Amino acid sequence: MMPEFTEELIDRLTRYCAIDSQSDASSPSSPSTAIQLDMQRLLVEELTGIGAQDVTLTDYGTVLATIPGTDPGPTIGFLAHVDTAPQFNATGVKPRVIRGYNGGAITYPDAPDLSLTPEDFPYLGEKLGHDIITASGTTLLGADDKAGVAILMTAARHMLMNPDHPRPTLRLAFTPDEEIGRGVDPRLPEDLGADFAYTFDGGRVGEVEYETFSADLALVTITGVSIHPGFATGKLVSAIQLAAKLLQTLPQATMTPDTTSGRDGFIHATDMEGDAAEMRLTFILRDFERDGLAAKGALLEQLCAAIAASEPRATITCQITPQYRNMRYWLEDDMTPVTLAHDAARALGIEPVSIPIRGGTDGSRLTEMGVPCPNLFTGMQNIHGPLEWISAQDMARATEFCLSLTRQALK
């Protein structure tokens, strides 16, 4: 392992995580939040400073750059996203570094009742002596995916400072809005100009992922009949009560995220807002297979129709919008980038692990749009919550893996 990477990665990750760049699914703009451009402008400055070429901030909010090749080979894209998840507080992140982790419980200065232990999270127990980075207890950390950003920036600086490092032409892309399924603008595949690509947006060391969920978004709108409650007898139709009925009717023991695992999909209510007059409920639908995804959408539509039939004075609509599809459908036709990643991992003594992702990445959309794009490890753990953490040494392995990929692509 190259120890100089560790300190650079710690510096980059802690600086990047302190910048609020949370995305917002309710916003129609692109990027969905202007604060994401604070990260993007910093990356433009840093990429220019290390000598990257063709550094551009596109009008859809993606930063692009080129690392010139030393030898002929395929043009490879490397991607990471700058936004952090909307599911938990990401304002005022205070990253901290626990040097030489001793194997015990990690506590949090801003949340004394919070504790991160190897008993609850066994992967942490494998990191004795590592430098562990967490937040302070009241926010997520944002290693998803600022760890990927830090890894690619560190690898890029190393290659540009070491022109003898063999590599083909590389294209970097730092995207916004990945967490809300809008990270890949339709113009990105052409602007990226890569034969194939990789997202650095995975978890434990060794992960090379080429299968993701397929995903749809469902918006259910329930419009009732509003009237003064004092005169509501026989007249009021409460949208809140109908929303509660819908949630209670959905499968509770077999089709929620907390009751499923492995290759099982789910229907997950993520947001609910409104009042007695009108309620709006947002669901994410997930399955590894197209048929399973379609069946979950059909079930939600059927339940909405049944509740509407039980109360004809209400209006209930269910709008389902495609988000992304399982990248396996395309990658299984040409496993070249997956095989290359496996070989690059083994060249470092890392045994690759390829298991289905119970989620999605920018690579899902890119692959569907014609740029094969598996997902690779960064080390991030417990993402989207206050117990998020990452090992700096895992990030260093991911940086070495990125460099190994560039060498392996020339063989």
| Model pLDDT, residue 159 | 97
Q: Which residues contact 309 (CB under 8 A, 6 or more apart)?
A: none
Among 389, 379, 380, 381, which Cα is nearest to 108's? 389
Which CATH architecture describes the domain 214-323?
Answer: 2-Layer Sandwich (3.30)
| Model pLDDT, residue 380 | 98
The amino acid sitting at 113 is D
| Model pLDDT, residue 232 | 84
Whole-angstrom distance, CA of residue 140 vs CA of residue 86: 10
Residues at the binding site are 81, 144, 179, 201, 384
pTM of the model as a whole? 0.92
According to CATH, the topology of domain 3-212+326-408 is Aminopeptidase (3.40.630)
| Model pLDDT, residue 2 | 61
- DSSP of 213-262, one letter per residue? -EEEEEEEEEE-B---GGG-TTT-B-HHHHHHHHHHHS-SSSSSGGG--T
Q: What is the phi/psi pair of residue 191, to 5°?
A: -65, -35
Residue 183 C-alpha from the chain's centroid: 10
Q: In the chain, where are the structural domains located?
A: 3-212+326-408, 214-323
| Model pLDDT, residue 1 | 52
Q: Give per-residue burial for 140-174: e unless 16+ CB within 10 Å, then b.
A: bbbbbbbbbbbbbbbbbbbbbeeeeebbbbbbbbb
Among 168, 192, 161, 153, which Cα is nearest to 68's? 168
**CB-side neighbour CA atoms (13 Å) of 402:** 34
pLDDT tens string, the chain, 411 residues long: the values are 566 799 999 999 999 999 999 999 889 999 999 999 999 999 999 999 999 999 999 999 999 999 999 999 999 999 999 999 998 999 999 999 999 999 999 999 999 999 999 999 999 999 999 999 999 999 999 999 999 999 999 999 999 999 889 999 999 999 999 999 899 999 999 999 999 999 999 999 999 999 999 999 999 999 999 998 998 899 999 999 999 999 999 998 899 999 999 999 999 999 999 999 999 999 999 999 999 999 999 999 999 999 999 999 999 999 999 999 999 999 999 999 999 999 999 999 999 999 999 998 999 999 999 999 999 999 999 999 999 999 999 999 999 999 999 999 998
83 an active-site residue? yes
Whole-angstrom distance, CA of residue 403 vs CA of residue 390: 20
Residues at the binding site for Zn(2+) are 81, 144, 179, 201, 384
Catalytic residue among 20, 83, 209, 400: 83
Catalytic residue among 131, 178, 207, 216: 178
Paired strand residues for 66:
53, 171
Token pair of 58 as six digits: 């596109």
190 an active-site residue? no
